[in-house]
Amino acid sequence: MNEISLNADLFEVMRKKALLKQDIYRKTLNTFQQFKNIILEMLAEYQEKYNGTREIVPFEFRDRSEFELEVKFGGDVLIFMMHTNIFEFSRMHEVMKTSYIREDTERSYCGVINIYNFLADSFRYNRVNDVGYMIGRVFINKDMHYFIEGKREIGMLYYNFATSEVTKEAIRAIIDSAIRYTINFDLLTPPYEDVKQVSVYDMQSSLENQKIPTGKRLGFRFQADHDEFVES
């Protein structure tokens, strides 16, 4: 094979991979916009249901950026964050063993929307040492199929990737599950041994700059995801 042919093959591989990633990026961004729209719909429904109620609990939305949105309810904040890069599952991930991926390996390339839970007070009082938790991440591929890795109500079985399509109803269900999980994910008292000592500096620091971190499972082991994905 001459040099011209080699270059032509290289250029075509490069072009196809770039077009694939651009297509997935656009579909992921469109999905993220649907998350925003549906949350706004939920906010309107909430306000209509409790309009005029004296003891209404805040349910608020903030558009943080093109790739970030925030939902605050009660004492919690959920942040949905779209990553701007495209990822591929590692070869060891169970989803790579499914017939859905084996039939077309391009289906393993995905955009990602991460879902994080923080305490509302962490932002209100600028407690920069507080911690949040990723409670789920949504993968979207070129077919507009999705797969979720997450905790309890958020996660789904990997072999559903072949049949789970991104629809308005599916996105509403993901948001609903994230909120329900967060409501049941309570702030627990950390083990006494972990907090029995505190420095004079920590005590003298203002509330806005306090160094004593707070988190829903601080001091407890929080099960991490075993499978990783690879940035592509």
The number of distinct structural domains making up the chain is: 1
163: domain range?
3-231
Rounded Cα distance, 199 and 207, in Å: 15
92 versus 215: the higher-pLDDT residue is 92
Cite the beta strand spans of the chain per DSSP E: 59-65, 68-73, 76-82, 87-89, 109-119, 133-140, 146-150, 229-231
pTM assigned to the model: 0.81
pLDDT tens-digit readout, 96-108: 999 999 999 999 9
pLDDT tens-digit readout, 166-217: 999 999 999 999 999 898 876 656 666 666 666 666 656 654 455 555 655 5
Question: Stretch 49-69: mean pLDDT, rounded?
Answer: 88
Rounded Cα distance, 136 and 81, in Å: 11
